[in-house]
Chain A
Amino acid sequence: MFTANTTLMLVATFLPFLGALVLLLVPKGQRKVFEYGSLAVMIVSFLLSVPFWFGYDRASDAVQWFHAWTWIPSLGVKFAVGMDGISLLLWLLTTFIGPIAIACSFSAIQERHKEYYLWMLVLQTAMLGVFITQDMFLFYLFWEVMLVPMYFLIAIWGGPQRLYAAIKLFLYTLAGSVLMLVAILAIYFLQHKTTGVYDFSLASFQAMAPIIAQQSKTFQILMALAFFIGFAIKVPMFPFHTWLPDAHVQAPTAGSVILAAILLKMGTYGFVRFLLPILPGATKELMPYFLTLALIGIIYGALVAMIQKDMKKLVAYSSVSHLGMCMLGLFALNPYGIKGGLLQMINHGISTSGLFLAVGIVYERRHTRMIADFGGLSKSMPVYATIFMIMTMSSLGLPLLNGFIGEGVILMGAFQAFPWAAVVATLGIILGAAYLLWMYQRVMFGPITPVNEKMEDLNLREVLYFAPLVIVAFWIGMYPKPIMDVMDAPVRKLVTQVNPDFYKAESLAAQQAAAARVGMRGMEAPEAQETPLAMTHGGGH
């Protein structure tokens, strides 16, 4: 009935916004209408997005369901949309998290319901828009517009320091993205100078890579830094991460979920989509610094998480660490690393959302998130303890769960590219296990206080919104192949764009191996530096 095509993609993307317009007409007092109305909109939007999973042509690395409408011809701005495997996965993650974020708000949001659900719906469309756009101007539009609803969600329904946290989030991201705008415009004019046309389309920007490579080194480095800062703030990478703990801790649960699951992914997505393919030379030039920051993020985030007394802050800092891990994978610039990074983006979206939801549950019941206030919850809340356990294990990378696959593939890629970095990152994983398990132990086991004894276990609604996360966590953990397949072709294309030497070295290695097997001792095997053996592309096949 519904086949995946451009129209359906736009409908699924803009449905939440249209829903918001309709709900705008409903009078303020109708709490149930807003709750169930927006939930219904989100679920329909998700259902409409499902055909894309099946309709996606996994063999092709092209942008699929592409369409471009003329918008501002004199500037070369088009309303261009379409998705490749990488955008598809994040787009699906967004439609998937949407209903969960709404469902977890029913009891958490006790005032100004109308505004809340409207902002959530607007935010959803803005986020979905970022992933389908194929035009830099349009991308910048969605990228910025997303900030406004997020600002309101934190500033109205957040904790005591909400205003500070909201404005900090807003200004940090805005400062980063205006620098990015300068870089976009600079490349836009460079393009005009060399090709004579004004074109904002993403494809033409990526096609600029060889021309940019001929420019002066300073130009390239500055461009790369402008993009880097814009995206690194969003990810956030150390040392641009300071807005994150504030925003996470102050935001309402759904805000934290969306922040962790989707908003942070915008930064990593930006790296994959823009920085790496457009400026491969400068990226490699700056790689030692980028890599160092990613590693510092992994270790620093984990260490800071370990000493947190507030559960939410702990999960927030664990995000810094996990996102550092994603960045490490992406920076490896080989298929394993990038695929691992992308997969870990999804995994982080699943498991960290789960953890934030879990923290939200106890916060709603006790109005505290201090680890010290809890203990022995597994006695009073067995179902909760089980789900919390699954999410914790998924986050720390236990085999059979999603985190293990993601981290494993990242480490394989990182080891290929820079072994020492992989070693440092492994330390981060160990620390991750330590702080998560330690938190779990302090909250769930030990003596129970009378207040905690009276805490109610999960109700049906809560179980229902956890269930999809748990299912997906197991699915990715046990059978990640479908997801790997979706990103296979685009990642291959990306690696060709950013690190073409990789495939050359790889085929060299294959020859070498073949030579060795045949045992032609008289012939010199071709020389290759640091080429891993038998590491072929396409993990998970």
Chain B
Amino acid sequence: MTGFAQGLLDALLQDAHLIVPQLFLITVATLMLWPGDLFVSRTEKHRWASVTLVVLGVTAWLVARVDNGLGFGRMFQMDGLTRGFQLLCILGAAGAVALSQRVLNGLKQQTVEYYALILFSLAGMLFLCGASDLISVYFSLELMAISIYILVAYLRDWKTSVEAGLKYFLLGAFSSGILVYGISLLYGAAGGTTTNLADLGQALALVPKADSLLVFGGVLMVLVGMSFKVAAVPFHMWSPDAYEGAPTPITAFMATAPKAAALAAFLRVFGTGFHSLFTIWVLPLSYIAAASMILGNVAAVRQVSMKRLLAYSSIAHVGYMLLGVLSADPVAGAQAVWLYMAIYVVMNFGAFAVVIYLQGQGEGERIEDFRGLGRKHPVLGFAMMIFLLSLAGIPPLLGFFGKFYLFKLAIEQGHVTLTVIALLTSAISAYYYLGVVAQMYFKEPTEGEAPALGGLPAFIVGVACFLILVGTAFGPWLLDWAGKVALG
């Protein structure tokens, strides 16, 4: 017995180097909760933000240093794809922490749990990016999601926040159930021997025709479960409510980091793992992508809340990115999706930084509250305009470059109808993004002086705006990085 335990421990330690960043995150987050928090007085809790930022920096450094490899009974794979998406998740978390300060200080809601939960969910994301087994996909998805459920309901005195958290939790649990059921079907169909993606892909391709319904059902359920997590239509219903109810920095977090992780999983499960089953999932996923692009963009047109608008727009952006997952060439798909996601993270944080700034001004989060921003605060208004135009994909901004690269791939892969839908719906998206621009520039500003933006958010806005403005000129470098992610 001890021999077995010893063997197991050796095996675990042998692969531990693959998950050093995750181990570091979990250890630090646990220590922050206890005993770390005992040493910080009630009024000093905001110091945890700086600690978290340092931790995130160290994590990013660790991620960059982890060697490629496959470990833990082939449950976790470290490669370029993992590393690339892990870095995006860390960037998302860092952005959320930086943007949280004004909101949390204003509400006097600084606690260590907030930061610890972000770190825990980030650990889940880092696992998810590299999960190469359906079981590890499921576990990491849950670790990520459960922490975020709590973060959504973090403002526990606010009815909307709690409602959003509950809604997200219930639907999330439901979708996890579907995912697990799908996994079990596939497990059974493949002969009950493996849940490893590579093995499963091979085994399922050989399943006799009589059992093909089982495979089809299983694949479909996994697809549905994962579509819930990225909020693709028709499994998106939770997202506008969760976006609206959550504290705004958490909304920014949800729109970026978990999406990046879930898309990495999407790429690994469908692009690589189930590549042999391409013919089964290509049609359902095409419909999901098309529905997301259409519904996301059309529904966004009618929103009055900026957070809901961004929620629907993020549904649409996921629809675009699913085009990359649909690529029959998984390497090219991963490259395009990563590039788009990286750009999307930058644009989104820029936009959310401005939304949070306005909230700090006692304005609500309605689109109307942007009125006159371009005149009252020209620099900020200009930056917001750049973010919005970039989200709409207007050249020469970076958002256009991401879209161009993604749509180019989609056409190359023969998804012409989907690409036409994508392009026409992105023309629709220009309508609502410009609606916000119109508020900023063509409406009279509200009375009163505009206070300064403040350190960290100003930094985020400035860097994001600069990157978006000049990014396209540095297209070759971007493509190089994306190529490293896909191939490394």
Q: Give me the interface of A with B, judged by CB distance under 8 Å.
A: 71-75, 77, 112, 140-141, 144-145, 147-148, 151-152, 155-156, 162-163, 167, 170-171, 174-175, 178-179, 181-182, 185-186, 188-189
Whether the pair B395, A140 counts as a contact (CB closer than 8 A) is yes
Whether the pair B408, A175 counts as a contact (CB closer than 8 A) is no
Complex contacts, B412 vs chain A, CB 8 Å: 185, 189
Which listed segment binds A: B79-87, B172-180, B348-356, B426-434?
A: B426-434
Least distance between A445 CB and chain B CB atoms (Å): 40
Interface string of B119-145 (1 = CB under 8 A from A): 000000000000000000000000000
Complex contacts, B11 vs chain A, CB 8 Å: none
Q: Which of A77, A112, A155, A167 contacts B431 (CB 8 A)?
A: A167
Whether the pair B423, A75 counts as a contact (CB closer than 8 A) is no
Q: Known: A141-B396, A144-B394, A189-B411. Is A175-B416 also a contact (CB below 8 A)? A: no
Complex contacts, A178 vs chain B, CB 8 Å: 423-424, 426-427
Complex contacts, A156 vs chain B, CB 8 Å: 441-442
CA distance A221 to B404 in the complex (A): 23
Whether the pair B430, A74 counts as a contact (CB closer than 8 A) is no
Say yes or no for B419: interface residue by CB 8 A criterion.
yes
Closest to A77 in B: B475
CA distance A72 to B404 in the complex (A): 13
Least distance between A227 CB and chain B CB atoms (Å): 14
Whether the pair B424, A175 counts as a contact (CB closer than 8 A) is yes
Counting from the closest, the 9 A-B pairs by CB-CB distance are A178-B423, A72-B475, A141-B395, A174-B427, A175-B427, A185-B411, A144-B395, A141-B396, A72-B476
Whether the pair A170, B430 counts as a contact (CB closer than 8 A) is yes
Complex contacts, A73 vs chain B, CB 8 Å: 476
Whether the pair B475, A75 counts as a contact (CB closer than 8 A) is yes
Whether the pair B479, A152 counts as a contact (CB closer than 8 A) is no
Q: Known: A74-B479, A174-B430, A189-B412. Is A182-B394 also a contact (CB below 8 A)? A: no
Closest to A147 in B: B394
Q: Which of B424-450 contact A (CB under 8 A)?
A: 424, 426-428, 430-431, 434-435, 438, 441-442
CA distance A74 to B412 in the complex (A): 15
Whether the pair A182, B419 counts as a contact (CB closer than 8 A) is yes
- How many Cβ-Cβ contacts under 8 Å join chain A to chain B? 77
Whether the pair A171, B431 counts as a contact (CB closer than 8 A) is yes
Complex contacts, A174 vs chain B, CB 8 Å: 427, 430
Say yes or no for B407: interface residue by CB 8 A criterion.
yes
Complex contacts, A189 vs chain B, CB 8 Å: 411-412
Closest to B478 in A: A72
Say yes or no for B170: interface residue by CB 8 A criterion.
no
Least distance between B414 CB and chain A CB atoms (Å): 10
CA distance A156 to B441 in the complex (A): 8
CA distance A170 to B388 in the complex (A): 15
Complex contacts, B207 vs chain A, CB 8 Å: none
Say yes or no for B487: interface residue by CB 8 A criterion.
no
Complex contacts, B420 vs chain A, CB 8 Å: 179, 182
Complex contacts, B472 vs chain A, CB 8 Å: 141
Whether the pair B479, A167 counts as a contact (CB closer than 8 A) is no
Say yes or no for B389: interface residue by CB 8 A criterion.
yes
Most A C-beta atoms less than 10 A away, residue of B423, B435, B479: B423
Least distance between B371 CB and chain A CB atoms (Å): 13
CA distance A137 to B108 in the complex (A): 51
Q: Which of B281-321 contact A (CB under 8 A)?
A: none
Q: Which of A71, A145, A171 contacts B395 (CB 8 A)?
A: A145
Whether the pair A151, B442 counts as a contact (CB closer than 8 A) is no
Q: Which of B394, B395, B400, B442 contacts A163 (CB 8 A)?
A: B442
Complex contacts, A112 vs chain B, CB 8 Å: 375
Least distance between A403 CB and chain B CB atoms (Å): 36
Whether the pair B434, A182 counts as a contact (CB closer than 8 A) is no
Least distance between A121 CB and chain B CB atoms (Å): 16
Least distance between B480 CB and chain A CB atoms (Å): 8
Least distance between B104 CB and chain A CB atoms (Å): 36
Whether the pair B430, A181 counts as a contact (CB closer than 8 A) is no
CA distance A455 to B442 in the complex (A): 32
CA distance A74 to B396 in the complex (A): 18
Whether the pair B476, A171 counts as a contact (CB closer than 8 A) is no
Q: Known: A74-B476, A156-B442. Is A148-B389 also a contact (CB below 8 A)? A: yes
Least distance between A255 CB and chain B CB atoms (Å): 15
